[in-house]
Structure 1
Amino acid sequence: MLRDFEIPGRSPVFSKNAAVATSHPLATSAALEILQDGGNAVDAALAACAVQAVVEPHMNGIGGDCFAIVMESDGRMIGFNGSGGAPKAASAEKLAELGVDQITPVSPHGVTVPGAVRAWETLSKAHGELPFDRLLTRAIDYAENGFPVAPRVARDWVKNVEKLAKLPASAAAYLVKGEAPKVGTILKYPRLAETLGAIASGGADAFYSGAIAQDIVDALAELGGLMHPDDLAACHTTAVSPVMRTYNGHTIAELPPNGQGVIALLILGILERFDLRNFDPYGPERFHLAMEATRIGYSVRDQYVTDPGFMDICHSTLVNEDYISELADMVSMDRRIGTLSPSALFPQTDTVYISVVDKDGLSVSLINSIFSEFGSGIVAPKSGVLLHNRGSVFSPRPGMANSIAGSKRPLHTIIPAMGLKGGKPWLCFGVMGGHYQACGHAHLLTNIIDYGMDVQAAIDFPRMFMDLKSHALEAEKTVPAATLEGLRARGHDISLSKNPIGGSQAIMIEPARHLLIAGSDPRKDGHAGGY
Structure 2
Amino acid sequence: MSLFHRSLFCAVLLVPAIACAADRVTGQLFATRSEVIAPHAMAATSHPLATQVALDTMKQGGSAMDAAIAANAALGLMEPTGNGIGGDLFAIVWDPKTKKLYGYNGSGRSPKSLTLAEFQRRGLKDIPPTGPLPVSVPGTVDGWFALHDRFGRLPMADNLAPAIRYAREGHPVHEVIAYYWDRSVPRLSQYPGFKEQFTIDGRAPRKGEMWKNPNLADTLQKIADGGRDAFYKGDIARTIDAYFRANDGFLSYEDLATHQGEWVQPVSTNYRGVDVWELPPNSQGIAALQMLNILEGYDFSKIAFGSPEHVHLFVEAKKLAFADRARFYADPAFSPAPVDRLVSKDYAAQRRKLVSPDKALREVQPGTPKQLEEGDTIYLTTADADGMMVSLIQSNYRGMGSGMAPPGLGFILQDRGEMFVLPASDEQRAHPNAYAPGKRPFQTIIPAFITKDGKPWVSFGVMGGAMQPQGHVQIVMNLVDFGMNLQEAGDAPRIQHEGSTEPTGQSTAMSDGGEVNLETGFPYETIRALMRKGHRVIFADGPYGGYQAIQRDPGNGVYFGASESRKDGHAAGY
Taking structure 2 as the reference length, what is the TM-score of the superposition? 0.89
Out of 388, 405, 414, the position equivalent to 2:445 is: 414
CA contact 2:173–2:211 (8 Å) conserved in 1: yes
CA contact 1:75–1:420 (8 Å) conserved in 2: no
Does 2:515 correspond to 1:515? no
CA contact 1:477–1:497 (8 Å) conserved in 2: no
Could you report, residue by residue, the CA deviation over 1:450-471 in whole angstroms, capped at 9, with x for unpaired residues?
0110010000011121223552
> C-alpha separation between the residues in 2 aligned to 1:276 and 1:379?
49
Does 2:473 correspond to 1:442? yes
Q: Counterpart in 2 of 1:427?
A: 458
- Following superposition, the deviation at residue 98 of structure 1 comes to 4.0
CA contact 2:31–2:492 (8 Å) conserved in 1: no
> C-alpha separation between the residues in 2 aligned to 1:339 and 1:461?
29
Out of 362, 376, 386, the position equivalent to 2:402 is: 376
Q: What CA RMSD, in Å, does the superposition of the two structures yield over aligned residues? A: 1.7
Does 2:66 correspond to 1:50? no
SS at match of 2:301: helix
> C-alpha separation between the residues in 2 aligned to 1:269 and 1:134?
43
Figure out how many residues of one structure are paired with residues of the other and give that number.
529
Q: Counterpart in 2 of 1:72?
A: 95
> C-alpha separation between the residues in 1 aligned to 2:115 and 2:269?
35
SS at match of 2:488: helix
Q: Counterpart in 2 of 1:363?
A: 389
Q: Counterpart in 1 of 2:48?
A: 25
Q: In structure 1, what residue type is equivalent to 2:66?
A: D
Per mean C-alpha deviation after superposition, the further-off stretch among 281-290 and 167-176 is 167-176
Out of 355, 358, 363, the position equivalent to 1:331 is: 355
- Following superposition, the deviation at residue 525 of structure 1 comes to 0.6
CA contact 1:503–1:523 (8 Å) conserved in 2: yes
Q: Counterpart in 1 of 2:63?
A: 40
Q: In structure 2, what residue type is equivalent to 1:209?
A: K
- Following superposition, the deviation at residue 168 of structure 1 comes to 4.2
SS at match of 1:110: coil
Unmatched tracts of structure 1, length 5 or more: none
CA contact 1:476–1:500 (8 Å) conserved in 2: no
Q: In structure 1, what residue type is equivalent to 2:299?
A: D
Q: Counterpart in 2 of 1:5?
A: 24
> C-alpha separation between the residues in 2 aligned to 1:228 and 1:291?
42
Does 2:367 correspond to 1:348? no
CA contact 2:171–2:211 (8 Å) conserved in 1: yes
Q: Counterpart in 1 of 2:169?
A: 145
Per mean C-alpha deviation after superposition, the further-off stretch among 172-181 and 423-432 is 172-181
SS at match of 1:225: coil
CA contact 1:467–1:473 (8 Å) conserved in 2: yes
> C-alpha separation between the residues in 2 aligned to 1:27 and 1:271?
36
- Following superposition, the deviation at residue 509 of structure 1 comes to 0.7
Q: In structure 2, what residue type is equivalent to 1:310?
A: F
SS at match of 1:112: coil
Q: Counterpart in 2 of 1:525?
A: 568
> C-alpha separation between the residues in 1 aligned to 2:244 and 2:467?
29
> C-alpha separation between the residues in 2 aligned to 1:414 and 1:482?
34
- Following superposition, the deviation at residue 173 of structure 1 comes to 1.8
**What are the residue-to-residue correspondences of 1:125-274 with 2, within 5 Å?**
125-274=149-298
- Following superposition, the deviation at residue 38 of structure 1 comes to 0.6
Could you report, residue by residue, the CA deviation over 1:331-367 in whole angstroms, capped at 9, with x for unpaired residues?
111110121134xx22133111111111111111111
> C-alpha separation between the residues in 2 aligned to 1:5 and 1:219?
56
Q: 1:509 to 1:181 in 2, by over 3 A?
A: same
Percent identical residues: 40
> C-alpha separation between the residues in 1 aligned to 2:522 and 2:183?
25
> C-alpha separation between the residues in 1 aligned to 2:252 and 2:450?
40
> C-alpha separation between the residues in 2 aligned to 1:483 and 1:108?
45
> C-alpha separation between the residues in 1 aligned to 2:63 and 2:532?
52
SS at match of 1:276: coil
SS at match of 2:398: coil
Q: In structure 1, what residue type is equivalent to 2:402?
A: S
SS at match of 1:334: coil
Unmatched tracts of structure 2, length 5 or more: 4-21, 424-428, 501-509
SS at match of 2:461: strand
- Following superposition, the deviation at residue 180 of structure 1 comes to 2.0
SS at match of 1:309: coil
> C-alpha separation between the residues in 1 aligned to 2:344 and 2:451?
20
**What are the residue-to-residue correspondences of 1:78-97 with 2, within 5 Å?**
78-97=102-121
